[in-house]
Amino acid sequence: MSYIAITAKDVEALVKAVKLGEEVKPSQQAKRDVFAEYGIAGTFKDRMLTAVYYDIWKRVGLLDRIASEITGVSNVAILDPWLRAALRVAIELLIFERFIKETKYRDAKNLFVSYFKKRVAKFLSDTTHPYVGAYFWELVDKIANYKWEPKNMVEKWEYRYMVSQTIISRLLKLLGPDESKEVLREFNKVYPISVRVNVLKSSVEEVVSILEKEGVKPVVSKYVSTVIKFKGPYDFDKSQLYKEGKIIIQEEAPALAAILLNPKPGEVVIDMCAAPGGKTEHMGELMKNQGTIYAFDIDEMRIKRMKDLLKRTGIEIVKIFKEDARNAPRILGVEVADKVLLDAPCTSSGTIMKNQELRWRITEEKVLELQTLQLELLEAAIKLTKKGGRILYTTCSLFREENEDVVEQILNKYSGVIRLVPLNEPFSPGLIPGTMRAWPHKHKTFGFFYALFEKINSIS
């Protein structure tokens, strides 16, 4: 498609969508709202402009570094948010966007420079302040003439795979260059939709049959027998399977967690970081709605989603606490649970293919901060668990600091109190014996870590 198909008004829409994308989550909603407002949604330009929008968010850390260099500010976060959005769009279109370079490059670039100087600069002046529009007008030529060259392999990969140097450096340390490339390629693939069948309301056979009648080509997971995968798009709002609670949106790696913990009917189970409730609901299924699940979380919106999910799926044994799970031993008492699930807060680095904003948000400081929280939560889990009970520790992180390092530290501190129960399948061995990992490049699913503990003695 020719660059002429995009107008100055379309570029303005991109700026507005990117600005609102910082405020509205998920950012896709901001894009949909703005594209509808500007008459783009559903037109022949929608696909191209949507691709540009997603490229901006995939590359935003690199765009911001160039904006910082061009403006001379140390951190673009201090800039007017409308100016920051306009700079991101201008840098993406004038420096990186491939569809422009595939046309008559100089003509295309000159046309987009005029778009930014005339339409976008005026839009900024009218929307925020005349000085902002004038300042942006002056920066457009600097952006158009900027020559970006990667200084080393990590910077080259940062551009090619659109993830931060922090993530790349950590993967290189963990896996080496060849496997790191495979993981980074996986981050830029579109994964199929993944749903889990609620066996209390339906069967895999029934769901497969209905999906096929809807024109979907479902494939049953080879790792989790109740998970079905299929290519999107799929309108869950109109799906009777979804409305009736017969399917739950869940990837196969997290869907394995409840199966590994194996809660039984009549048991007392604690889900320490429960919302939005996919694993809580799954445990309720496995318990056949018999027993008690205490679900802890601190996020009100996610708790609301969990309540909606439990109601839709018919799980009635869950008692919800809007509390920090580190306080659970004080609230419930010690040695009260047969099983404890700790799907710990983490960097979510194994889910970048779905959560685009994580490409640039993960920092070294955040990794260490989360490790401290994970250890504190795991200590609370040990206190909550009865002698002979089990704890499943999981994260959707790829980083050793949040996974094997946490396990090693907790085993050392509670030697004689807990032991690892070896996990051997269906995914790959972890980096220490007895643990297990799902890898995007090996298993075509989210990166996920599992460690199963048994409490063998009370804490003295």
- Which positions are catalytic? 396
- Rounded distance, CA 101 to CA 108, Å? 8
- Rounded distance, CA 138 to CA 117, Å? 8
CA distances from 412 to 290, 356, 409, 420 (A): 36, 36, 5, 12
415 φ, ψ to 5°?
Answer: -60, 130
User: What does the radius of gyration of the chain's CA atoms come to, in whole angstroms?
Assistant: 25
With beta carbons less than 8 A apart as the criterion, state whether 332 and 455 touch. no
293 φ, ψ to 5°?
Answer: -115, 120
**Cα 382 vs. chain centroid, distance in angstroms?**
28
Q: Which residues pair with 385 in a beta bridge?
A: 337
With beta carbons less than 8 A apart as the criterion, state whether 142 and 66 touch. no
CA distances from 200 to 203, 246, 255, 257, 263 (A): 8, 8, 16, 18, 15
With beta carbons less than 8 A apart as the criterion, state whether 300 and 230 touch. no
Q: Which amino acid is at 433?
A: P
Q: How many residues does the chain have?
A: 460
Residue with tokens 């925020």: 128
Q: Which residues pair with 197 in a beta bridge?
A: 247
With beta carbons less than 8 A apart as the criterion, state whether 119 and 93 touch. no
